[in-house]
Amino acid sequence: MSERPPVRTFKPRRRSLSPGRAELFARLAPRFVLDEKGPPLDLGAVFRRHADVVLDIGFGVGDTLVAMAVAQPELDLIGVDVHTPGIAHALAGIEERELSNVRLVHGDALQFLERLAPESLTGVRIFFPDPWPKARHHHRRLVREDVVARLVALLRAGGWLHVATDNDDYAEQIGDVCDTHPLLRGGPVERPVTRPLTRYEGKGIEAGHTVVDFCYNRVS
């Protein structure tokens, strides 16, 4: 019997690139885009230095990723997203800002996790993951027990997990899942000043949504 394909935590969307963005993608991807699948990564070799590494899952168009890379040059960032236009937009920002501390992954974050060594990350960011609001789709949500367990295993002791959502039901799930993990301590916090306001967040606030940030640390 063949194995079932993994449950997707994202909605596949296809959109072609403009000629200019296609050229930029082809030119910059060999330097800045890591393969979704492959052998375990040596992060020191990837970034050509030894620094704390943060994984950013589902960065959208990449504005927040680029802004945080500029604001925190001491950190190395790996941003993962499945949508080609977002990857191209982020590459444009990387080139414009002349950033050396960012790498991107064009693919499924859950597949890419296999390339990371245990306790190799300082932090994980998940800003406004797809809420999958219908009850029958809740199993597709990214922040669930099995995924959080995998992420915690990648965090060094003292490392952190930062999740933000504007979906009330998802916020309750995030709190329940993270509060019950034996190695995590934390909970809801005020929006950290280090997290820029995202486009998605701004639209949610205009629609009357309540944004909740959760910050947890791995205790051992």
- Looking at the annotation, which residues are catalytic? 130
Cβ neighbours for 170, distance < 8 A, ≥ 6 positions apart: 129, 131, 141, 143
Task: Report CA torsion sign: 50, 187, 151, 105.
Answer: negative
Question: Bridge partners of 161?
Answer: 124, 216
- Write out the E strands in the chain: 33-34, 53-57, 76-81, 102-106, 121-127, 155-165, 184-189, 212-218
Question: Residue 35: beta bridge partners?
Answer: none
Q: Among 181, 173, 97, 131, which Cα is nearest to 11's?
A: 131
Print burial letters for 201-217: b (CB count within 10 Å at least 16), e (below 16).
Answer: beebeeeeeebbbbbbe
Phi, psi of 58 (to 5 degrees): 75, 65
Rounded CA separation 163/142 (Å):
11
Describe the chain by its helix, strand, coil percentages, rounded to 5.
40, 20, 40
CB 126 within 8 Å of CB 88: no
